[in-house]
Amino acid sequence: MDPIKLKKKILTRNDHIAAEIRDRFRSSGVSVINMVSSPGSGKTSLLEKTLGPLSTELAVGVIEGDILTENDARRIAMTGVPVHQINTGGACHLEAAMIRDALAHFDLDALDLLFIENVGNLVCPSAFDLGEGARVTIISVTEGDDKPLKYPAMFHTSDLMVINKMDLLPFTDFSVDSVIENARSANPSINILQTSCRTGKGLDGWMEFVRSFAAG
């Protein structure tokens, strides 16, 4: 028997669900940002800094993806923003079906902006479309500036790279120029911001990005 031809994307099912929820987001007027990073890059801190000021202007929600613990969700809940946690039970990434299920916990029509804090991992989440409108990769200066070369898929699929913990730059051998060059060679059109949650440096640029994204 001849081989049975498929010529099919392996993640077709995930892509279908992602397309379905992307339609729901669009018809409810919700802008969705998928935030990815390796563990410890300061993703939750950046969100904490963002949610306070933003929640006075916009109706914001957060889906928190964690392998096991609820610590991050608790930190987010302290900001007063509605948060729903997905415990992946060991899985290293979120999938579109998990987001679809989590949406039952939100009133989408009342929401302007939804952050998805993905599981801390620069490899696995890259393959899974979550129906988001923007994907943001957070990297910190305490990591290697060659991260984009090691994990090109993530940077290739991201709209923005945030270089966080800039206050620690003098204590590291991290090269901002190198990380920018490396990120651009995985994604020539990637946007880049430099921030420090401790000193507040660059946070206005980040808020500007979020606001203009939410405004569509």
Partner 1 sequence: MHELSIAMEILDIVEREASDHGAGRVINIRLRIGDLSGVETESLRFCFEAIRGEKDATRDADLIIMRVPVRIRCAPCAGEFEGEGHLLRCPSCGGLETELLEGDELNILDFEVE
* Residues at the site binding partner 1, with contacts judged by CB under 8 A: 1, 3-14, 91-93, 95, 123-128, 149, 151-154, 156, 181-182, 184-188
Sign of CA dihedral 125, 123, 39, 46: negative
Compute the least distance from the CB of residue 151 to partner 1, in Å: 7
Q: If DSSP codes are grouped into helix, strand and coil, which group holds residue 62?
A: strand
CB of 36 to partner 1, least distance (A): 11
User: Which CB sits closer to partner 1, 74 or 150?
Assistant: 150
Cβ-based nearer residue to partner 1, 21 or 96: 96
Distance CA 5, CA 90 (A): 34
Least separation in angstroms between residue 98's CB and partner 1 is: 11
CA end-to-end distance (rounded Å), the chain: 52
Instruction: Name the 3-class secondary structure at 193.
Output: strand
Nearer to partner 1, 1 or 68 (CB): 1
Residue 20 CB, nearest distance to partner 1 (Å)? 17
| CB 152, min distance to partner 1, A | 5
Tell me how far apart the alpha carbons of residues 64 and 84 are, in angstroms, rounded to a whole number: 6
Kindly tell me which of 168 and 192 has the beta carbon lying closer to partner 1.
192
User: In the complex, what is the shortest distance from the CB of residue 113 to partner 1, in angstroms, rounded to a whole number?
Assistant: 27
Strands 191-194, 60-66: pairing kind: unpaired
User: What are 11's two structure tokens?
Assistant: 């993640």
Q: What angle do CA 112, 93, 47 make, to 5 degrees?
A: 40
Question: Edge-to-edge strands of the sheet including 191-194?
Answer: 83-87, 60-66, 113-117, 31-37, 134-140, 160-164, 191-194
C-beta closer to partner 1: residue 1 or 104: 1
Token pair 């808020």 is at which residue? 207
Q: Closer to partner 1 by CB, 31 or 158: give it.
A: 158
